[in-house]
Amino acid sequence: MLKGYGGGRAAHASGVRERPQPRVSAGPAGSNRGWRLLGLAGVLLYAAYGRGGIERFRQESVAEYLRQLESLRERDILVGVAPHSVRACPRAWLEDLARYAERESLPLHVHADEQPREIEECVAEYGLRPVELLADCGCLGPRTTVVHATHADAHELDLIAEAGARVCLCLTTEANLGDGFAPVEQLCERGIGICIGSDSNVRIDPLEELRELEGIARRRTGRRNVVSPDSLLCFGADEGAASLGLEGWGEIEIDLEHPSLLGVDPADVFPALVFGCSADVLA
């Protein structure tokens, strides 16, 4: 499951919509043959590269990419369409991949607005900012997840909200690369679904991603509790599943005997989980 962590229902920040309780309690499960071996529900977001990146990962054409994707589907692997970015996929690729994802009812994930240079190059080539280009190519919709959106402007965020798309924040990678601060409050104000991902192998810890998300929101607003622990856990689980198009998934077990949670009052487990634990308390 590249970019996202687990999940099932929609959840948004405090004051935007009523939220379900996060499904974090007991029993890992998987949703297809490959991921069941690991006890995970997962979707393979297969990246399309028309240019740039590492040569051995590039495809010569959209047709070649779709042949590779269809081969995975024939092996009963759940997949999503993933044009890497507006840098890696020319406009024609984005249009073709958007049509395919729509026709096949598949999730579509794409990086956008991660770094200022990317935006400058997109404007120079197309006269549009990255999310504007995605909208123009038909890539924005309710099954779309825009990865990063760190430097998305107000108009781009409005486009994401109007399309019913989500944003996947990869906080530890964005910090490691010096990309900037995620626009957490602006996303929440617009009711945009937020999920989290790692984007790299520097750290694989969903709780650390959630802490960083709230930490950024606090530093940008100058106040605490911008996003509640319940909402953060929904971002980490339910929104992740919705982003991947998973309709069913197992619950997550918390090790209440872990030293980080010993003596914690049951009413405080969720806040303690988000703000005081690492992923080794989850099963």
Strand partners, 44: 79
Lookup: tokens for 70:
């269809």
Treating both helix axes as pointing N-terminal to C-terminal, what angle do 206-221 and 269-276 enclose, rounded to 10 degrees? 90
| Residue 144: CB atoms within 10 Å | 25
| Residue 37: CB atoms within 10 Å | 8
Spatial distance between the Cα atoms of 228 and 233, rounded to a whole number of angstroms: 9
CB 82 within 8 A of CB 48: yes
Contacts of residue 204, Cβ cutoff 8 Å, sequence gap at least 6: 198, 279
The catalytic residues are 148, 199
Collapsed DSSP state (helix, strand, coil) of residue 228: coil
Strand partners, 85: 111
